[in-house]
Structure 1
């Protein structure tokens, strides 16, 4: 019989790519969507008609239990979170509840479902490189001390250790992917990579004049989301659960991101088109994140396939195509 998978956070970029991957492998895919009349659910039904949608909320254990009963999953991928780091300082409590306590609720729902039905469920937790924060080791690996520098990072640490605790306390097949920054044309426009690709596209089309950013010297290890969801799936195919850093092993600055993005539209000197505003600086900056994914390579056989250059080009071109529809005379 075909496997069944339950995905929280399915309307985000990772959820969309993961659902496509699982569907291609013959899974029954169930997606948890929060609230009634959620506009994201309607868009999901249109773009991914193979996904069965179930209503639920990571803050409501009873709704998660109902979702588990409906999905009867072989695998659960907990991707749901308040995931915009800058927002987490403005709403630290909500971020902590959803991104932290939500993990505990999902783990408990899986445990209770297993105890009630006797069915074995494999669980994936979306951990984050933001947990490393004030980095204590370069590059960062699974054993690196966690030192989060944002409410989001703190909440992710809670979820990460809770996943380990359930694995060790209850023998659950629970694995965490410590994913470094991963992007795509499906990334939200509030994230810096998409903010840049969208602005560059609009500048090329004459729809805006400039872009305003924060710290141009911050460096990140950026990969393609489509590559990273493949690692999630591979983790749950292993005999033993474990934690894995997923990264490219390369680091690039915001300036490099701008160089590549503007080069796609033939602009070499972007200095007059980019403004720096201190309002966009983080209260506690994470300056250098770069991951060591050698464990994932050796155990999972995973490696990234899309380069940083190809990723940036993909995103700018996708936004040019999207923004072109807004020009007069073009169909919407």
Structure 2
């Protein structure tokens, strides 16, 4: 039966970037929903599949090599797999690293997104596509919660690349009728977070203090505020967006803003310690530009799709400290 006529009973999902935090949790969620899950990384033979293994699903997913910034690689993958749903979670994920590697950041995020969209247009495929956006695109919200209608003001190479990808998705949806949408994701955490992220650095630092290995915690600017959520909840929102009758962009966030200083305090509470340790603000961890305050209003996705974050910041920190994966 031709691809454009119907999908098989077992729906196939392709997750670009399956070996990352979100990719692993999304793969587990889709497997539980009865999907055939195919995941990609640049080199499937040498990719770090430890997160898939930690969730106990490494043997349940199919891994392929795919370079999002290579049109032919994307074309080959989509033509052979014929996914009903495509989740583009690939590309550079670190704001800090984007200042050091801005070209790689733009190519991996913006060029990769464009190739997925253009291949879908070229094939005339009915595949529904989710693209991972970022609340970083809004810049500093000045203590006013951003909504889907808030103008972008990116202040990092990462945010510029994500903003570019967002408008590419919007253009292909409007110009070519492709079912594609962007989930504008606020910060979301779990024990699967890479070590370079500040939240994981805090958890590991407090663990070292609890073990008596050090007596200080070195961080960058503690006076920043973010909307932190629980990653396993956020992948449910991604999936739900592709089940909607109409493709639409949504802000995926908890709606609660917490300071990094409070995140540190909660980490000490999780360890059963008093935060009397010397917390040092180290200039080497500061970025060329940073957002002081980022607040999000996720009321639209709650109203349209019935999705709402439930895990509180204190629960997030405790789960990270205890390495709870669910």
| Same topology, TM > 0.5 | yes
Aligned residues of 1:199 and 1:211 also touching (Cα < 8 A):
yes
Q: How far, CA to CA, are the matches of 2:36 and 2:57 in structure 1?
A: 16
Q: How far, CA to CA, are the matches of 1:281 and 1:217 in structure 2?
A: 12
Counterpart of 2:170 in structure 1 is 164
Q: How does 1:21-32 map to 2 (within 5 A)?
A: 21-32=29-40
Most deviating of 57-66 and 261-270 = 261-270
Counterpart of 1:127 in structure 2 is 133
Q: Is structure 2 residue 55 aligned with structure 1 residue 49?
A: no
Aligned residues of 1:136 and 1:145 also touching (Cα < 8 A):
no
Summarize deviations over 1:10-45 as a string: whole Å, max 9, x none: 111100000000000000000011125324147747
Give the SS at the match of 2:15.
strand
Among 11, 18, 25, the residue aligned to 1:3: 11
Q: How far, CA to CA, are the matches of 1:42 and 1:212 in structure 2?
A: 27
Among 181, 190, 202, the residue aligned to 2:187: 181
Counterpart of 1:92 in structure 2 is 102
Q: How does 1:278-317 map to 2 (within 5 A)?
A: 278-317=283-322
Runs of 4+ in 1 over 3 A off after TM superposition: 41-47
Among 74, 77, 99, the residue aligned to 2:84: 74
Aligned residues of 1:41 and 1:53 also touching (Cα < 8 A):
no
Give the SS at the match of 1:285.
coil
Give the SS at the match of 2:59.
coil
Give the SS at the match of 2:25.
helix
Q: How does 1:9-24 map to 2 (within 5 A)?
A: 9-24=17-32
Q: How far, CA to CA, are the matches of 1:317 and 1:136 in structure 2?
A: 34
The alignment's TM-score, normalised by the length of structure 1, stands at 0.91
Among 211, 216, 233, the residue aligned to 2:217: 211
Aligned residues of 2:130 and 2:181 also touching (Cα < 8 A):
yes
Give the SS at the match of 2:146.
coil
Quote the offset at 1:48 in angstroms.
Answer: 2.0
Change (3 A) 1:271 1:59: same
Counterpart of 1:238 in structure 2 is 244
Give the SS at the match of 2:139.
coil
Query: RMSD over aligned Cα, in angstroms?
Result: 1.8
Aligned residues of 2:215 and 2:277 also touching (Cα < 8 A):
no
Change (3 A) 1:256 1:42: closer
Quote the offset at 1:70 in angstroms.
Answer: 2.7
Q: How far, CA to CA, are the matches of 2:254 and 2:161 in structure 1?
A: 24
Q: How far, CA to CA, are the matches of 2:271 and 2:66 in structure 1?
A: 43
Aligned residues of 2:18 and 2:41 also touching (Cα < 8 A):
yes
Aligned residues of 1:137 and 1:144 also touching (Cα < 8 A):
no
Quote the offset at 1:47 in angstroms.
Answer: 4.6
Quote the offset at 1:98 in angstroms.
Answer: 0.5
Q: How many residues align?
A: 315
Q: How far, CA to CA, are the matches of 1:134 and 1:283 in structure 2?
A: 14
Summarize deviations over 1:132-185 as a string: whole Å, max 9, x none: 113367100000010000000000000000000000011001111001000000
Q: Is structure 2 residue 204 aligned with structure 1 residue 198?
A: yes
Q: How far, CA to CA, are the matches of 1:205 and 1:194 in structure 2?
A: 17
Summarize deviations over 1:48-79 as a string: whole Å, max 9, x none: 21111111111111111111123210000000
Change (3 A) 1:202 1:47: farther
Q: 5+ residue gaps in structure 2?
A: 1-8
Aligned residues of 1:135 and 1:147 also touching (Cα < 8 A):
no
Q: Is structure 2 residue 67 aligned with structure 1 residue 61?
A: no
